[in-house]
Amino acid sequence: MGDFSYHAAGMVLLMAAILALPRIAVAGNPPFSCAPGPTQGFAFCDRRLPVEQRAADLVARLSLAEKVSQLGDEAPGVPRLGVPPYKWWSEGLHGLAFWGHGMHFDGAVRAITSFPQVLLTAASFDEKLWYRIGQAIGTEARALYNVGQAEGLTIWSPNVNIFRDPRWGRGQETPGEDPTTASKYGVAFVRGLQGPSPTILQTSACCKHATAYDLEAWNGAIRYDYKAWVTAQDLADTFNPPFRSCVEEGKASCVMCAYTTVNGVPACASSDLLTKTFKGAWGLNGYVSSDCDAVALMHDSQGYRPTPEDTVAAALTAGLDLNCGNYTQVHGMAAIQQGKMSEHDVDRALRNLFTVRMRLGHFDGDPRGSALYGGLGAGDVCSPAHKALSLEAAQNGIVLLKNDAGILPLSRPAVGSAAVIGHNANDPAALYGNYFGPPCEYTTPLQGIQGYVKNVAFLAGCDSAACGFAATGQAAGLAASSDYVIMFMGLSQRQEQEGLDRTSLLLPGQQQNLITAVASAAKRPVILVLLTGGPVDVTFAKSNPKIGAILWAGYPGQAGGLAIAKVLFGEHNPSGRLPMTWYPEDFTRVPMTDMRMRADPATGYPGRSYRFYKGNTVYKFGDGLSYSKFSRQLVVPSTTGNTDLLAGLTATPAADGGASYVVEEIGADGCEQLKFPAVVEVQNHGPLDGKHSVLMFLRWPNATSGRPVSQLVGFRAQHLRAGEKARLRFDVSPCEHFSWATEDGTKVLGAGSHFLRVGKDEYEIRFDP
């Protein structure tokens, strides 16, 4: 999406002003078509007809000029047909947002529920939680629409790009580095956002940004004209799977194409991507939108086509339906007049667009009369249930990375005094990350701790996250005079955001020196809480015995301060797991522009993500501690699917002496017969009740022939009382979970040994030719 930067101090003032606004209950009327009157006789208003037929009827009634006018994200109305204006761009990444044009917070509803930034939510590894968050955001969007504060219900979320490089400023928006996790997140969130009805959408979800988009600005490379060279292998098993799952399983009604030029062709001008893949192979039932101004940039920045008219034609004929921006509206008519594209190309796009609007019920009369969503209103925004869900999400995402000598949880009566030190301790802006809206309420970490400890002294310590100046002496003195010291350090949107990548993985400025000095002066080991999007190299803190505990709390949303306090004082047992590898600082020697996922030992290229990276880590994907001890045992039936069917297939020899079967040749029926269940027996040995996320991986005997070092099969989250046991079932599909992509992108299932792994427990499964 387009640039939107801000200063943290300015955002604090903005949010304070928003929260201070009077809650005047002024409701407006939602925009809709097909009210009682002359248009009701038109076929596009006939609810008995299929929406595709209704959309085609409406498009056929438009003049050519009216058609072209509908191709941008701010579409004018067609008064003669009773069609109101429509604004396609709204955001709902982790709550409805200021970004976009479709949502307004200036009427009966002045605030919305602000959930944790996505990367922290992903750390819960809980699909049901992800679904409920999507459902809540969709409910609040529909409620805003019903009270007349929304001009559209097309939500351009989720972001399911792979967090390929730890420096990426927008990695915070994603579910992390793993394609299985990103895929499952996308499916759950989309289903929640769009609602349970296959015919009437609660809102329309849009999975973005396809594909291989994960760079803002690094060493002269800018996202607006970045030329990414990506192997077919990496596209097949890393970059594209989340988008495919969004469409095929989640039934997303939109995919957004990225700014990126992929292998010489801009994503938004690639017919292979937009038409052959999204709409053809994956069966997208909806529309394709460009990222904002992506079509204009194809001409102005990338020089892909010589004229604006050629550029618009290239995008529309490739399969683009909507341009975020007005470039297609400005140059579309001339492109048709010059014969660059036809009216038929525009009709195809508009049929897709109006079909989605009709699935949203916008052509069914007053939406407040809808049996499904008509009753939603201001009381459904910032509801007690949604506020509780925001707290639950933050609690379940927080990751305990270090807890030497069991310093945590803290005993409330034992903490006579506490020093809270750090720039992120009392800054509301540190709770939200990017793409946020006005929160219902908020609790900073300082406020959270003040609810548990009477004698709390606070010092920011740094002038900002950049920490150009640190009050080291003052902080050390405060630490020496306090029973316990809790530090809230990390990053802000001034280091990582849309349009801004990091150049270092270290904590900025004087932060490390400040932390070390405070730890040295404190009476007992300090507690370090990191509020960041992307990973940071805190090797110094990991190895320092004077730093007793480290927690990662991401950007935890409106309830973040309370969630952190509940974890610190043992009212919530931490269960989050890192959805991203934490690399050491020397990883920054790897160019961000090198898109390869797989390692290349011959050149010293280390690879990326836990699946392929061959190098040292600060913390690993999936790391996360609990206050309780959990045991896990993997149980697999002796018969693991009908492997006899492979006998009739020819195994292709591999360079490493092994062999593999092409998944497409096994076929859908064969893949179904290969499936088998696996069970993990989990027990909570105490001392506290708590949630536990079980991650099941697959590894091979070696990582040759392009195989990953390991890859995630699936995950289950389960709450267990102390002493309680549970059996968690995993449905294992070898065609999906045991396969990998060859150099040409073909998915194959290897012959020979495969090892399912949960913790240190493994089970071997063989497919013999």
Residues annotated as catalytic (active site), given as ranges: 291
CA distance 139 to 154: 13
CA distance 337 to 505: 53
CA distance 138 to 7: 29
Instruction: Please name the amino acid found at residue 572.
Output: H
Q: Which candidate, 400, 416, 398, places its Cα nearest to that of 408?
A: 400
DSSP 365-405: S-GGG-TTTTT--GGGSS-HHHHHHHHHHHHHH-EEEEEGG
Peptide bond into 209 cis (omega under 30): yes
Tell me the backbone φ, ψ of residue 631, rounded to 5 degrees.
-115, 150
Instruction: Map residue 277 onto helix, strand or coil.
Output: helix
What is the DSSP code (8-state) at residue 288?
E
Interior/surface letters 50-78, b for 16+ CB within 10 angstroms, e for the rest:
ebeebbbbbbebbeeebbbbbbbbbbeeb
Tell me the backbone φ, ψ of residue 327, rounded to 5 degrees.
-60, -45
> 81 and 39 in contact (C-beta within 8 Å)?
yes
CA distance 381 to 525: 42
Task: Count CA within 13 A, CB hemisphere, residue 129.
Answer: 28
CA distance 321 to 308: 17
> 494 and 427 in contact (C-beta within 8 Å)?
no
DSSP 438-459: -BS----HHHHHHTT-SSEEEE
Residue 667: CB atoms within 10 Å? 13
* H helices present in 22-126, as ranges: 51-61, 64-69, 118-122
Interior/surface letters 126-140, b for 16+ CB within 10 angstroms, e for the rest:
bbebbbbbbbbbbbb
CA distance 13 to 7: 10
* H helices present in 270-383, as ranges: 271, 294-300, 308-318, 327-337, 343-359
CA distance 391 to 486: 21
What is the DSSP code (8-state) at residue 208?
E
Question: Would you state the torsion angle of the CA atoms of residues 502, 503, 507, 508, taken in this order, to the nearest 10 degrees?
Answer: -90
List of residues 6+ apart from 106 with CB closer than 8 A: 149
> What is the number of residues in the chain?
769
Q: According to the 3-state scheme, what is the secondary structure of 396-429?
A: HHCEEEEEHHHCCCCCHHHCCCEEEECCCCCCHH
Q: Which candidate, 153, 28, 39, 45, places its Cα nearest to that of 92?
A: 153
Look at the block and give the residue holding tokens 């800018």.
Answer: 222
Beta-sheet strand order (sheet of 761-767): 710-720, 690-699, 752-758, 761-767
Tell me the backbone φ, ψ of residue 431, rounded to 5 degrees.
-85, -20
Q: Which candidate, 121, 124, 126, 123, places its Cα nearest to that of 157?
A: 121
Tokens representing 442 are: 């908020």
